[in-house]
Amino acid sequence: MPVNTKLADFGWGPLQERQRSAQADQNIRPARVLDVHRSLVHVAAPSFDESVPTPLNHEKGPVTVGDWVFVDESGKRIVSILDRTSLFRRRAPGTDYREQLIAANVDTLFIVSSCNHDFNEARLERYLAIGRDAGVMSLIVLTKADLCEDSSDYVRRSSKLAPGLIVETVNALERESLAVLDSWLASGQTIALLGSSGVGKSTLTNTLLGRRDISTQEARADDDRGRHTTTSRQMHQLPGGAWLVDTPGMRELQLTDVRSGLDDVFAEITELARKCRFADCTHNAEPGCAVLAAVENSEVDVDRVTRWRKLVREEAHNRESIAERRARDKSTGKLYKTIISETQRKKGREA
């Protein structure tokens, strides 16, 4: 592990410093979460590196990679999770409407896709909504430019996916070609890599590390799909001092609680929707629908409108279902606590 001397090298900033000043207990120490396992969390700070038990039932939800935590004097117990400067989350796969945290305190998001069959506008828009909602700068990084005859069409299609979007094409195996990313990789910066399996997230991390530490695997030849090689999220410190969060390629990225992110990514459509006659217009067939009128006049891309409608519906559905689930869990928790305290009182009386 790095033996840095300054917390800032680990990404510590003013928001974290304020939280430390507010702490009464001066013996606690801050540390950054580099890796989360089922029962242990790997945390580190200047001259500190420990695996400590995963804190359970924390009000800020489970601890996630990139989090800042306070560890007690013994260095063996996480006492609290600090407020985050940014947080990425999705609806966890499965039918039970849980939320899954992806990474916290990220400064820049590299949304990785390849110049091949993996390229998919609808998927990129999902990642972009998550990034914009978290208020994090997002870049699209198109890998495997070296394997493709002409990457310009991918760049053109990517650029249209959100206002002011930066798109870079690279060969993830070659350090020089990654120089276009260097301005985002200053010391103490945290960058998360998101993208489907096989696009080269770990390859890119290895090349920036200058080592082949992380396993990578060839994608399938017939459809360019990856083999889900990386299975856990992990932070790596680059030689220049930036922190890179490599993540496993997600099979499914269901949006939740990213309404403002969606509005931002689909700004041209959101703008139109404000002009619809009915405030609750679903933009399907209503009279006076400004979105449908714009489609009619070819002022907006009809495919993008279709994708937007789908995402808005999905986001609302997941957000409401997760909120309901949370409320249900909370009342079950309360009920459970009441039963326990009742039982204990009865026992006390009997004794």
Ligand X SMILES: Nc1nc2c(ncn2[C@@H]2O[C@H](COP(=O)(O)OP(=O)(O)OP(=O)(O)O)[C@@H](O)[C@H]2O)c(=O)[nH]1
> HEC profile for 172-212?
CCCCHHHHHHHHHCCCCCEEEEECCCCCCHHHHHHHHHCCC
Note the maximum CA span of the chain: 82
Site string for Mg ion, 178-207 (x = CB under 5 A): -----------------------xx-----
**124 binds, options Mg ion, Zn ion, ligand X, none, Cβ within 5 to 8 A by partner type:** none
* Closest CA relative to residue 113, chosen from 67, 71, 148, 65: 148
Residues 218-257 that bind ligand X (CB under 6 A): 218-219, 226-230, 248-249
Residues 6+ apart with CB under 8 A from 318: 91, 97, 254, 255, 256, 257
Task: Please report, for residues 15, 220, 233, the alpha-carbon distance to residue 143 in angstroms, rounded to integers and kept in the order given.
Answer: 34, 16, 20
List of residues contacting Zn ion (CB under 5 A):
276, 281, 283, 289, 291
Per-residue mark of binding to ligand X, 161-180 (x: CB under 6 A): ----------xxx-------
How far is Cα 212 from Cα 195, in angstroms, rounded to an integer? 20
In the window 228-257, what residues touch Mg ion (CB under 5 A)?
Answer: 229-230
Helices 302-350, 121-133: inter-axial angle, 10-degree rounding:
50
Of residues 214 and 316, the one with the C-beta less far from ligand X: 214
Q: Total binding residues for Mg ion by CB under 5 A?
A: 4
Least separation, in Å, of the C-beta of 114 and Mg ion?
13
Q: What's the rounded Cα separation, in Å, for the pair 304 and 273?
A: 14
**Do 110 and 141 touch, CB atoms closer than 8 A?**
yes
Identity of the residue, 31 or 244, whose beta carbon is nearer to ligand X in the bound complex: 244
In the shown chain, the binding pattern of residues 201 to 220 toward ligand X, with x for contact by CB under 6 A and - for none, equals xxx------------xxxx-
**Token pair in block for residue 263:** 């509005």
Q: Which is nearer to Zn ion, 274 or 346 (CB)?
A: 274
Question: 61 or 248, CB closer to ligand X?
Answer: 248
Residue 283 touches which of Zn ion, ligand X, Mg ion, none (Cβ within 5-8 Å per kind): Zn ion
Q: Does 304 bind ligand X (CB under 6 A)?
A: no
Binding residues vs ligand X (CB under 6 A): 143-144, 146-147, 171-173, 197-203, 216-219, 226-230, 248-249
Binding residues vs Mg ion (CB under 5 A): 201-202, 229-230
